[in-house]
Amino acid sequence: MAYSMTGFGRGQADDQIRRVTVELKSVNNRYCDLQIRLPQALYALEPQLRRQLQAAISRGKIDVMVTVEDQSSGLAQVLCDRDLARAYLRAYEELAGTLSPGQPFAAPLKEIAAHPEVLTVRRQNQDAATWAPLLSRAAEDALRQLTEMRRLEGEHLTADLEVKIQHLQQLLAQVRGRAPEVVAAYRSKLVARVQELLGQEAAAAVFDPGRLAQEVLLFADKAAVDEEEVRLESHLQALGRTLRSEAAVGKKLDFLVQEINREMNTIGSKANDLEMTRLVVEMKTELERIREQIQNLE
């Protein structure tokens, strides 16, 4: 079954105090294009995440958003510069003695703590490797959701494409039925033209059935599309089989559509008939709809 390239998946994993969330959003692309955004603490894990995603996705542009939550207290430490705090305290004492001599002095702890560098927060860099199992589990859950959404969308696209392929096969059957009629119509047109130019009685007197047959045979040879019809039918059958394949099919479908278009162009160039031309135009219109839809398949 063909898979769509569009979808969304979200996965989470936690260990009571830490949580990793991975969100995947995919759209159409000829190649596998991963746009990964990680928090700084997990930068070292990007190669691991990239390998995990590439193993599951062969085509599409994937936006990857990773967020983390950490409730552990060991990530940050508040440090106090005691010497600096004492220096501020002495300065406040001197200022109070100058401005309010003999008055009781209460240490302004709040003001001292507010001064730069008295209290500082130092965040400890946690080893990225400790996040690796959580990231892998969250990515696996996100991939599972994404794959399921792409599978369901692929089923809808496949069903619609199969209807379009059947329509092309019906049009091809009409082309096959029309081909002998084109030759017969040319013969009647040729006879009518001779009679128009010479008159019916004169044409009957000079008319050479052998020459007529030769002209019709030359026309039939030039207008013959038997080989193109056989190849076109084969390509349409291959298109249907490929859609039901389990492997990534997008690139093969692209190739088959190009081959089908080539055969249609050849039939159209040989068609010396309005009805044949109309059928080819209708076939090419349907093929263009197929081409647009397979751009969504992986």
125 domain-assigned: no
Q: Is the pLDDT score of 165 beyond 60?
A: yes
Q: Is the pLDDT score of 171 beyond 90?
A: yes
Cβ neighbour number for residue 2 with a 10 Å cutoff: 25
Average pLDDT over the chain reads 84
Distance CA 264, CA 168 (A): 11
Query: Does residue 94 sit in the same domain as residue 176?
Result: no
77 domain-assigned: no
Distance CA 35, CA 22 (A): 13
223 domain-assigned: yes
Average pLDDT estimate for 3-16: 93
Q: What are the DSSP calls for the chain, one per residue?
A: ---BS-EEEEEEEE-SSEEEEEEEEEE--SSEEEEEE--GGGGGGHHHHHHHHHTT-SSEEEEEEEEEEE--GGGEEEEE-HHHHHHHHHHHHHHHHHHSTTS-----HHHHHHSTTTEEEEE----GGGGHHHHHHHHHHHHHHHHHHHHHHHHHHHHHHHHHHHHHHHHHHHHHHHHHHHHHHHHHHHHHHHHHHH-HHHHHHH--HHHHHHHHHHHHHHH--HHHHHHHHHHHHHHHHHHT-SS--HHHHHHHHHHHHHHHHHHHHH--SHHHHHHHHHHHHHHHHHHHHHTTB-
Query: Does residue 287 sit in the same domain as residue 169?
Result: yes
Q: Which tens digits make up the pLDDT trace of 14-42?
A: 988 889 999 999 999 988 999 999 998 89
The confidence band for 266, taking pLDDT boundaries of 50, 70 and 90, is confident
Distance CA 65, CA 22 (A): 6
Q: Which tens digits make up the pLDDT trace of 211-256?
A: 555 654 555 456 567 778 889 999 999 999 998 886 778 889 999 9
Q: Which contacts qualify for 189-196: CB closer than 8 Å, 24 or more apart?
A: 190/215, 190/216
Nearest Cα to 276, choosing from 192, 180, 165, 164?
Answer: 180
Residue with tokens 């001779």: 194
User: What CATH number is given to the structural domain containing 52?
Assistant: 3.30.230
Q: What is the pTM of this model?
A: 0.66
Helix axes 132-198, 274-294, angle to 10 degrees: 170
Nearest Cα to 293, choosing from 189, 141, 153, 109?
Answer: 153
124 domain-assigned: no
Return the higher-pLDDT residue of 74 and 230. 230
Percent of the residues in the chain that have a pLDDT greater than 90, as a whole number:
48
Query: Does residue 144 sit in the same domain as residue 191?
Result: no
Query: Does residue 203 sit in the same domain as residue 259?
Result: yes
140 domain-assigned: yes
Query: Does residue 113 sit in the same domain as residue 163?
Result: no
Instruction: Give the range of the structural domain holding residue 160, as residue numbers without chain letter.
Output: 151-294
Query: Does residue 170 sit in the same domain as residue 87?
Result: no
Tokens standing for 177? Answer: 């039925």
Query: Does residue 48 sit in the same domain as residue 112?
Result: no
Please, are residues 248 and 223 in contact by the beta-carbon 8 Å criterion? Answer: no
Range in 83-92, 186-195, 287-296 with the lowest mean pLDDT: 186-195
251 domain-assigned: yes
Query: Does residue 142 sit in the same domain as residue 234?
Result: no
122 domain-assigned: no
Dihedrals φ, ψ of 6, to 5°? -105, 140
28 domain-assigned: yes
Query: Does residue 47 sit in the same domain as residue 103?
Result: no
Query: Does residue 272 sit in the same domain as residue 160?
Result: yes
Query: Does residue 135 sit in the same domain as residue 186?
Result: no
Range in 56-70, 99-113, 171-185, 210-224 with the lowest mean pLDDT: 210-224
Distance CA 231, CA 234 (A): 5
Distance CA 173, CA 150 (A): 34
Report the pLDDT value the prediction gives residue 196, as an integer from 0 to 100.
Answer: 59
Query: Does residue 38 sit in the same domain as residue 157?
Result: no
CB contact set of 248 (below 8 Å; sequence gap of 6+): 3, 58, 59, 298
Structural domain count of the chain: 3
